[in-house]
Amino acid sequence: MNRPAATRKFGEKREEIVHAASVLINEVGVQATTLAEVARAIGLNATSVTYYFPRKEQLVVAVYDQTLTLMEAMAQEALEQPDPAARLRHFIAAHVALRKRIRAGERGLTTALSEIRTLEPEVQEPLMAHYLRVVDIVRRFFGEWHSNARRALFSARAHILLEAMMWWPVWSLRYSVLDFGRIEERLFDILANGLPSRRGAFEPQELIGNWRTRDADEPGQNEAFLRAATVMINQLGYRGASVNRIAESLNVTKGSFYHHHQAKDDLVLACFQQSYDRLSSAQIAGRDIGTDYWTRLSSVLAELVDLQFFDPTPLLRTTALQALDAEHKADVVTRSNRLARRFAGMLIDGIADGSVRAIDPLVAGQVIMSTVNSAYEARHWAARFDPPGEAIRTYLSAMSEGLLAPSG
């Protein structure tokens, strides 16, 4: 007779543990989250937690699976709306409402997914399969596809939309919840309709600078470490990119690594610094060419997406951000916001010269940052295009035309 009550109590306690772990993973990352810390957060001892989750990996999977289940439900609810515009609007509203609930004090509702790639393959694969189910639902927001080209376009749209929603929690901290309704409307407008005043305008110019990896260059050892670490962190996450793996990929010893960097965090920060320096250089090169500001901006975006798709040394993904300590994380986010504001400045000048629509440049700057950042994850998608430039044009159509542009 007591079994239903006992089952309910078990489920409630299990949910409490998952919520506590979610909060810790968001704050300090997977590696620093321990069963003992989770237990301490809810007034249990570590042995009590192992009754529900014998191994930490099982708890981490439960945390991520809960977030993916929530994302899937939000996407499915949006898909049930009558048309692409209503689906997009509903999906954005759901993510803004979720952030409002979190601001109001609800904790453990959702977990940043950036460290899924740090998990062992047998644990990671079902989670990635779950995420791909979410992607497939979002891809269907935009209609049916009857060709590979249309499916590729809808895949890019889904990817960019999901990344924009996952970046939103980071930059939403700069706004009061009293402004969330306005931000929701501006986000919808930017994502739905794109940026230029002439919809579909995309004629990027070639930019000259030193942000590309040159095949003929023979990098010094420190530069080689930065390249190897950037690629490995992008592929495997912070934890997966161990010092041993980075050293082995270069056929050097761990001692060589520590000759250049006191700790792995120093290397991650150096990778962020290098990536942001390259991004900044491309921004300045584009900002200073003699044409309208939408062409300047689209030239910068084309260069940066080209880096992410095809360069041997891409820009570092923000997946590494979560594993940094609070002080260094704040520094990285501050620099990211400065780069976003530079994009916003170019948009303001574009509004002034008539080449950019009257949009919110600060919100658009953050959408641009997430679009460029997430392009690395679309490398396999981009590799299917011939010529390669068509991949860049298709991907950036989200900025030049918007996600709701007719697809032919």
CA end-to-end span of the chain: 62
Q: What is the pLDDT of residues 151-179, one digit of tens each?
A: 999 999 999 999 999 999 889 989 999 99
Residue 49: what pLDDT? 86
- What residues are paired with 196 via a beta bridge? 356
Residue 220: what pLDDT? 65
Distance CA(375)–CA(315), nearest Å, equals 10
Residue 313: what pLDDT? 87
Residue 113: what pLDDT? 80
DSSP code of 204?
A: P
DSSP code of 315?
A: P
**Are 188 and 92 contacting, i.e. CB atoms less than 8 angstroms apart?**
yes
Lookup: tokens for 201:
């305008």
In 3-state terms the chain splits into helix, strand, coil percentages (rounded to 5) of 75, 0, 25
Q: What angle do CA 264, 61, 381 make, to 5 degrees?
A: 70
Residue 263: what pLDDT? 67
C-alpha distances in angstroms, 204 versus 153, 334, 340, 392, 399? 20, 28, 20, 11, 13
**Are 20 and 86 contacting, i.e. CB atoms less than 8 angstroms apart?**
no
**Are 235 and 249 contacting, i.e. CB atoms less than 8 angstroms apart?**
no
Residue 195: what pLDDT? 98
- What residues are paired with 45 via a beta bridge? none
Residues 12, 165, 163, 34: is their CA dihedral positive or negative?
Answer: negative
Residue 225: what pLDDT? 76
CA atoms within 13 A on the CB side of 212: 16
Query: What is the pTM assigned to this prediction?
Result: 0.87
Residue 1: what pLDDT? 44
Residue 4: what pLDDT? 59
Q: Return all residues near 366 (Cβ < 8 A) that are at least 6 apart.
A: 167, 168, 171, 340
**Are 197 and 356 contacting, i.e. CB atoms less than 8 angstroms apart?**
yes
Lookup: tokens for 236:
């495997």
Q: Tens-digit pLDDT profile for the chain (408 aa)?
A: 444 555 778 888 888 898 888 888 877 777 778 888 888 888 888 788 888 888 888 898 899 999 999 999 999 999 999 999 999 999 999 999 999 998 888 766 688 787 787 778 888 899 999 999 999 999 999 999 989 999 999 999 999 999 999 999 889 989 999 999 999 999 999 999 999 999 999 999 999 998 888 765 566 666 777 788 788 777 776 666 677 777 777 777 666 666 666 666 777 778 888 889 999 999 999 999 999 999 999 999 999 999 999 998 898 877 666 666 677 778 888 888 899 999 999 999 999 999 999 999 999 999 999 999 889 989 999 999 999 999 999 999 999 999 999 875
Q: Return all residues near 78 (Cβ < 8 A) that are at least 6 apart.
A: 87, 88, 90, 91, 94, 138, 141
Q: What is the pLDDT of residues 310-334, one digit of tens each?
A: 998 898 877 666 666 677 778 888 8
Query: Residues for the chain: how many in total?
Result: 408
